[in-house]
Structure 1
Amino acid sequence: MYTTSSAFLDALTEAGISCIFANFGSDHPAMVEAIAQARSEGRSIPRIFTCPNEMVGMSAAHGFWQASGVPQAVVVHVECGTQALAGAVHNAAKGRAPMLIFAGASPFTQDGEMTGSRNEFIQWIQDVHDQRGIVRGYVKYDNEIRSGHNVKHLVHRALQFAGTDPKGPSYLMGAREVMEAAVEPRANDIDRHQPLIPSALPPEGVETIGRALLAARRPLVVTTYIGRNPDAVEPLTALCHRLGIGVLESVPTWMNYPHDDSFYLGNQWNEPVQNAALAEADMILVLDSDVPWIPTVNRPARDAKIYHIDVDPLKQQMPLADIPALAAFRADAATCLAQLHAWLDTQSVEQDALNERTEHYWRLHDQRADILMAREASEDGKPLTSEYFLSRLRRHVDETTLIVNEGISNYQAIFNHLAPTRPASMFTSGGGSLGWHGGAAIGVKLAQPDKTVIALTGDGSFMFSVPTSVHWMARRYETPFLHIVFNNGGWKSPKLSTLAVHPSGYAAAAEDIDVSFEPAPDYVGIAAAAGGAWGKRVTLPAEVDAAIEAALTVVRDEKRSALLEIVIPPL
């Protein structure tokens, strides 16, 4: 029998989805049956990945898209599973990660009127007033499948919304009776549901920005996520060399610009200091950034000319947002950069000014490099630091390596000391809900199985990640990765936040502000018990090199996960 669920699976296949990250429940008999039937008949459907936790499953879909550019599907159980997506749906929304979420719904009949009618007590309890409303504030599109006759249209429309900038997740739900209903197969209509073509700058916008860049003495690009499109990184690099433009990353969520390039000036996070390059810039091009600076502590000069290009310049999901731009454009960065290069082909660049800008930014780049090198130093008798560890790990990061970064209080250290140079080589969640990295590492490995995946996390975000589910999935689905946990004994970020507001308050003087993880969990033991991972606790600088080499040997040669617990100075 060909059912709505059969058509749903065919719609996913037609859309190029190869993975369903699933947590099945009593609302899914029709889909379980349709999967079994397709396998029996040899019909192509996406591969099913059993996810004991919904947060991990959705994070895996997030990571798969980041490493491949192809959205995937997540299947969860009624409103309970929808809520259990937890912070993953926040991360996908804020990180602009396209995917399709499908949840079943409690049956709407109770006396056996239709196939799929209620037959378990839980189906009364799980019937809620507005299941879609649980995630409506985080998705691009939500709808209910009410008939199998147009299910392909709904699936493909949902994916069209998800894949159109600003990208994000879409949500569909369907009750048991509808998903069980027999339907006639329908033709593939995916071709008329493609994401919208990326938009460009209007001609006057190209000229306005181009002339502002040519006239500036200290032009600066600020970006956060231009690297989500790897094809935009090289044109940005070429533009900076062509005009002598410095590049500053603000809370980067991707690898946006080669760290070894002489126009790269570093990355700014929450540190309460004024960035010198931002302060002296007389022309700033904000290119794909949600928070280009934090005005209370770090802001441009008042007379700086600011222009803003973004897939979402209005920041529609942010009730409070303000980038004081002279002009803002909703446009695709790669398209705009191509337009700017074409316009510059008709212009002349004053060579002396270009040389002066170039020398200035190269000098700042070299000064920063010296500072970072000094932080990496290790002295006898000194404790192990994240900077030293990362400098040793950097020797093993090459074109075969992908980095998943959820370092939280070590975010900046990871970017600075791993110093990525390749587009699409380092990922963060793009959001603010912790626990993304474990599932994401699985998704990244599934998307690029020939690469070595290294996930770096704090001890707090490790526990948020549901590590038992993560390491069980990594073993079952043969997605080994190197899991690195920076253990500073608790949540450092809440402590830093409190000290920033109350530097001399009671909390600053208190020995305990309720963010400690003492007694510490056995991080290595958790990964070993759940997924058979190899692990080691590292406390001294002298242990680092051997531990990294042993862990990578396990991951690459033995094809199983490894975990290194890196003990750094406590809170």
Structure 2
Amino acid sequence: MEHTYTTSSAFLEALQEAGVTYIFSNFGSDHPGIIESLATGRKEGKKLPEVITCPHEMVALSMAHSYAQLTKEPQAVLVHVECGTQNLGGAIHNAYKGRVPVLIFAGASPYTQEGELPGSRNEFIHWIQDVPDQRGIVRGYMKYENEIRTGANVKQVVHRALQIAQSQPKGPVYLMGPRETMEEETIPVPVSSEQWKPVAPKALPPQDVLNIVGDIITAETPLLITSYLGKNPNAVRELVALCEKMAIPVIESVPNYMNFPANHPMHCGYQWNTPEQNDLIKEADLVLIFDSDVPWIPSKNKPSEHCSIYHFDEDPLKESMPLWYISSKRSFEVDSYTALQQLNEALDHAAIEKDTFNKRREAISFYHNRKRREEEKAEDSEEKEITPEYLTACIREVIDDETIVVNEGISNYETIYTHLKRSRPGSILSSGGGSLGWNGGASLGAKLALKEKKIVNVTGDGSFLFSVPSAVHWLSRKYDLPFLTIIYNNGGWKSPKLSTLGVHPEGSAKEADQFWVDFEPYADLAGIAEAAGGAFAKTVQEPAELKTIIKEAMNVVEQGRSAVLDVHLPRVSGKNLEKGDHLKKGQ
């Protein structure tokens, strides 16, 4: 039987030519053309992206998200009309805010209903799923969105979409195509992917390099703040060189990568919703901000009015954030790796006495070491309860520097970054966004990208539930993608409680200890993974058994089976149950 070359055939070829390895798919009635072209391609031995069947769209996009973070290669997600588009949910927000390149394709209801064209309406759902503006559902979260209207130029549209997705600031793109268009017979069109490379990174103007270097040399108390510079491991190397050379301390503010080695004496801590003024920020006479959305929260913690600020970012205007500004001397739309190379080269040729910064280097090292001692003290276990600090320290002892940590700890973000002390670029990831549920799919995507690495997923109980764990662990078993999940289970959503107390510290909610955020009766969270994917599942309540069980779970993962540890921390409601009471409550 001779097979027809269609728009769907050309679309799949374009993905392959553009370097897309996987299609994370949730197929529907709008995808017969694509399914047929995939089957034909397999029959003919044609090289096309591999399909990963995802039972939930949130998981599909989260997989593509972390895969792109680790490999720098954008992947494709295929979903079903406007319903599947909406079911991507917060994963769209995460990809956009995290500046992660991914191509999303959704079908669309057929636009003919009497059999005028191949693919015309033949199911009742085609009327119900026909909406006025399907692209509008995601328009506010896409760098680019378009409709495929013909097979004659579908390859150009796909390559253009991926070129935009990969050009700084990177981000998701969205294409849609109705059934008739995707079934349309067409002819192959040769397209060179070399002509669709991302736009070259931007550099600093030469005169500005000299001005910035001059300010760095003369600053008495400089400080550098970053959040996502670590997306490029080469930029981390350049940042370390700059800070070592000039004795500049570093703070990671709301990081979603390993931006600066935690064991380096110039590393001076992390901050999220820090309620007090940071001394280093307050005392700085020069602040260099590299790749940060929230370098500080002005109502609590900011530089003095006499401080000079330089802002370097691939997205310095933050145009997707209606309210955003900092009082910077200059802002530069620039690639951080390129800018740091320029600054380091200029400093190498500047007249600098090497001994000039020794005193400052010693003072910062002392500050670093003092903070480390305070952190170690906080890791001491309590006799009756497992604290987040102790749990994180136990995880640190079990993993190695090559392990990839996926972090969606939410109210424990700062604790996890602080006490894991990651020092290798790429060894810890967060979504970069604020929509919970990324962790499960992200762990699968990380394992798919780096199959030789161990993957550890640290997550809150709320974010674990948001991640659709039944779909996640079905995928883990089906595609042989084992990883370890450790749930920081405080019995509810702690972050809304903290937010309420931040605004109403002595209010009625505190007085009654009523925040409507607890998860009673408690579910058997690890059991969900066991039922859906055969995962090793255990609930942990005793500090004395924690390290042993983490090691046991890691051994299980190394043997090819996922593991989930539901670790009970002090409860968010403040109503501490006796050990074993969770079993009576339904766990």
1:457 aligns with 2:471: no
Aligned 1:161-200 pairs, distance under 5 A: 161-200=164-203
Query: Which residue of structure 2 aligns with residue 311 of structure 1?
Result: 314
Distance in structure 1 (CA, Å) of the matches to 2:211 and 2:288: 12
Amino acid aligned to 2:178: A
Aligned 1:64-463 pairs, distance under 5 A: 64-379=67-382, 381-463=383-465
Contact 1:243 1:349 in 2 (8 A): no
Quote how far apart the aligned CAs of 1:363 are: 1.0
Give the SS at the match of 1:188. coil
Distance in structure 2 (CA, Å) of the matches to 1:400 and 1:303: 42
Amino acid aligned to 1:232: A
Give the SS at the match of 1:404. strand
Give ranges in structure 2 of 5+ residues lacking alignment: 573-587
Query: Which residue of structure 1 aligns with residue 496 of structure 2?
Result: 494
The C-alpha deviation readout for 1:322-363, integer Å capped at 9, x for no partner, is: 111000000000001110111112212234430121011111
Query: Which residue of structure 2 aligns with residue 564 of structure 1?
Result: 565
Distance in structure 2 (CA, Å) of the matches to 1:98 and 1:551: 33
Distance in structure 1 (CA, Å) of the matches to 2:61 and 2:424: 26
Quote how far apart the aligned CAs of 1:382 are: 3.5
Quote how far apart the aligned CAs of 1:400 are: 3.0
Amino acid aligned to 1:478: D
Query: Which residue of structure 1 aligns with residue 584 of structure 2?
Result: none
Contact 1:217 1:353 in 2 (8 A): no
Give the total of aligned pairs. Answer: 569
Give the SS at the match of 1:149. coil
Contact 1:400 1:450 in 2 (8 A): no
Distance in structure 1 (CA, Å) of the matches to 2:78 and 2:155: 16
Q: Percent identity?
A: 54
Distance in structure 2 (CA, Å) of the matches to 1:480 and 1:67: 17
Quote how far apart the aligned CAs of 1:53 are: 0.6
Q: Which of 473, 478, 494 does residue 476 from structure 1 map onto?
A: 478
Distance in structure 1 (CA, Å) of the matches to 2:473 and 2:120: 37
Distance in structure 1 (CA, Å) of the matches to 2:25 and 2:15: 14
The C-alpha deviation readout for 1:135-156, integer Å capped at 9, x for no partner, is: 0100100000000010000000
Amino acid aligned to 2:52: F
Contact 1:152 1:189 in 2 (8 A): no
Give the SS at the match of 2:380. coil
Distance in structure 1 (CA, Å) of the matches to 2:304 and 2:367: 19
Amino acid aligned to 1:566: V
Contact 2:253 2:272 in 1 (8 A): yes
Aligned 1:512-523 pairs, distance under 5 A: 512-523=514-525
Amino acid aligned to 2:344: H
Query: Which residue of structure 1 aligns with residue 576 of structure 2?
Result: none
Contact 2:102 2:172 in 1 (8 A): yes
Distance in structure 1 (CA, Å) of the matches to 2:37 and 2:54: 19
The C-alpha deviation readout for 1:453-497, integer Å capped at 9, x for no partner, is: 000100000111111111111111111100111110100000000
Query: Which residue of structure 2 aligns with residue 536 of structure 1?
Result: 538
Quote how far apart the aligned CAs of 1:204 are: 1.4
Give the SS at the match of 2:287. strand
Contact 2:402 2:427 in 1 (8 A): no
Contact 1:153 1:189 in 2 (8 A): no
Quote how far apart the aligned CAs of 1:271 are: 2.1
The C-alpha deviation readout for 1:117-164, integer Å capped at 9, x for no partner, is: 000011011111110011010010000000001000000000000000
Contact 2:288 2:310 in 1 (8 A): yes
Contact 1:24 1:77 in 2 (8 A): yes
Amino acid aligned to 2:185: A
Give ranges in structure 1 of 5+ residues lacking alignment: none
The C-alpha deviation readout for 1:506-539, integer Å capped at 9, x for no partner, is: 1111232210001111011100001100011111
TM-score with structure 2 setting the length: 0.96
Give the SS at the match of 1:233. helix
1:3 aligns with 2:20: no
1:31 aligns with 2:30: no
The C-alpha deviation readout for 1:225-263, integer Å capped at 9, x for no partner, is: 000111100110011010010001111111000000000
Give the SS at the match of 1:173. strand
Runs (4+) of structure 1 moved beyond 6 Å?
A: none
Quote how far apart the aligned CAs of 1:67 are: 1.6
Quote how far apart the aligned CAs of 1:51 are: 0.8
Distance in structure 1 (CA, Å) of the matches to 2:76 and 2:500: 39
Query: Which residue of structure 2 aligns with residue 467 of structure 1?
Result: 469
Amino acid aligned to 1:142: E
Distance in structure 1 (CA, Å) of the matches to 2:211 and 2:399: 41
